[in-house]
Amino acid sequence: MAKKSAATQAKAAAKSGATKVKPATAKERVLITGAAGFLGSHLCDRFLQEGYHVIGMDNLITGRLKNIEHLFHRSDFEFHHHDVTKFVHVPGKLKYILHFASPASPIDYLKIPIQTLKVSSLGTHNLLGLALEKGARILVASTSEVYGDPQVHPQTEAYWGHVNTVGPRGVYDEAKRFQEAITMAYHTYHGLETRIVRIFNTYGPRMRLNDGRVLPAFIGQALRGEDLTIFGKGDQTRSFCYVDDLVEGIYRLLKSDYAGPVNIGNPAEITIKQFAQEIVKLTGTKQKLVYKPLPQDDPMQRRPDITLAKKLLKWQPKVDRAQGLKITYAYFKGLSKTELNEKEHNSFEGYVRR
Ligand code: UDP
């Protein structure tokens, strides 16, 4: 049976002569897909903090309920176990939709390539349709991977990218490129309010320790007393953004009136070898750095140009790597032995540059 709204209850109370009940303002409702994932779960926290009613959705292929377990007791949070590549139904009003469902580790792309393609193509299409139906504003999570192995450095939003459509990363990169295209088409053709964030490498608590990405890989190896595996010579670069900074940038972008893609990331660039050395220092591990073949199509450099975000959103990252790594290491150290020893990816075969 449908619950009576606060206003109806207040009216009934007034009629019966009972003490006047002030009708509670209905909270604005936000749908966050990929809610049980690393970024999705932090977004759930942020939107709850801002006073929204949050509807989290996840099919739990790569997401983990543990990331949002602390929210289940709240009446302003609900969880829908659903795969967004199937028709998405959410009863009631929606103010915003944030589409963050997708595998996000290069090794996952190999393990579940079709799902990776579907979630950012079919899934995005479903969510755009839902946004249209609800009159909601939608923000989609795009990626620095749309730039591929970039020939322009640092990457500005104006750069069109350098992607191998049929390489191992193509399933992610091309799905995200399609996602941007269909999102922009809904904006121009249907007049839908859309936002596109291009997310660069991000780290922080709740990353999966064994998802194959470099930061959890190195910290996991240090914690287990294994050597740290550097792919290639380690001279490829990345720029790592702490999750709170990223969430702030996304929040501001959602509230802005800009429909074009916006880079959000930390421009502090570092080689993977230097990064490994930082992790050795942070963890105090006595293990060695060992070298493995470089994965096929592994981008050699990556650094966001955030001029646009600075101007448009008055945003720039605040947490430096030393601070962010300390918090992240403390989180990983707190994991159980079982979690620490769980190996999701035992082999890198088929993942090397040929
Ligand atoms: N990498 C590495 N050792 C590992 C895992 C990753 O040297 O155990 C390298 C990888 O080849 C890439 C960089 O670290 O150059 C970042 O990889 P990640 O998978 O975190 O994300 P990407 O930025 O490539 O999507």
Residue 122 burial (10 A CB sphere; 0-12, 13-18, 19+): middle
- Residue 290's nearest CA partner among 300, 280, 299, 303 is 280
**103 pocket-lining for ligand 1 (C-beta < 6 Å):** no
Could you tell me the residue range of the domain that residue 251 belongs to? Answer: 27-207+242-266+298-318
Tell me the DSSP string of 160-200. Answer: --B--TTSTTHHHHHHHHHHHHHHHHHHHHH---EEEEEE-
Q: How confident is the model at residue 343 (pLDDT cuts 50, 70, 90)?
A: confident
Report the range of poorest mean pLDDT among 3-17, 276-290, 338-352: 3-17
Q: How confident is the model at residue 20 (pLDDT cuts 50, 70, 90)?
A: low
Q: Which residue has the higher pLDDT, 110 or 191?
A: 191
pLDDT at 13: 43
pLDDT at 9: 46
Tokens representing residue 129 in the block: 């349709």
**239 pocket-lining for ligand 1 (C-beta < 6 Å):** no
Residue 223 domain flag? no
Q: How confident is the model at residue 342 (pLDDT cuts 50, 70, 90)?
A: confident
Average pLDDT score over residue span 144-150: 97
Q: Which residues participate in catalysis according to the annotation?
A: 172
pLDDT at 324: 98
pLDDT at 175: 98
Average pLDDT score over residue span 49-54: 98
**Longest CA pairwise span in the chain (Å):** 80
pLDDT at 18: 47
Is pLDDT of 21 > 70? no
Residue 228 domain flag? no
pTM of the full structure: 0.91
Residue 84 domain flag? yes
Percent of the chain at pLDDT exceeding 70 = 90
pLDDT at 24: 58
pLDDT at 345: 59
Domain total for the chain?
1
Q: How confident is the model at residue 2 (pLDDT cuts 50, 70, 90)?
A: very low
Residue 213 domain flag? no
Residue 288 domain flag? no
What DSSP element (H or E) covers 17?
none
Q: Which atom of ligand 1 is nearest to the CA of 217?
A: 8
253/197 Cα distance (integer angstroms): 8
For the chain, give me the number of helices (H) and strands (E)? 11, 13
pLDDT at 354: 40
Q: How far is CA 246 from CA 43, 46, 181, 197, in A?
A: 10, 11, 23, 10
Is pLDDT of 4 > 50? no
pLDDT at 302: 97
**236 pocket-lining for ligand 1 (C-beta < 6 Å):** yes
Is pLDDT of 17 > 50? no
Q: How confident is the model at residue 244 (pLDDT cuts 50, 70, 90)?
A: very high
334/325 Cα distance (integer angstroms): 14
- Residue 209's nearest CA partner among 293, 328, 101 is 328
89/81 Cα distance (integer angstroms): 12
Q: How far is CA 232 from CA 138, 226, 290, 294, 300, in A?
A: 39, 18, 10, 4, 10
Looking at residue 157, which CATH number applies to its domain? 3.40.50.720
Residue 215 domain flag? no
Report the range of poorest mean pLDDT among 31-35, 223-227, 312-316, 345-349: 345-349
Residue 48 domain flag? yes
For residue 31, the SS3 value is strand
Is pLDDT of 1 > 90? no
168/298 Cα distance (integer angstroms): 10
**231 pocket-lining for ligand 1 (C-beta < 6 Å):** yes
Ligand 1 center–CA 269 separation, angstroms: 14
Q: Which atom of ligand 1 is nearest to the CA of 234?
A: 7
Q: What is the pLDDT of residues 273-315, one digit of tens each?
A: 999 999 999 999 999 999 999 999 999 999 999 999 999 999 9
Residue 231 domain flag? no
- Residue 48's nearest CA partner among 76, 24, 80 is 76
Is pLDDT of 348 > 80? no
For residue 121, the SS3 value is helix
**Are 228 and 294 in contact, with CB atoms under 8 Å apart?**
no
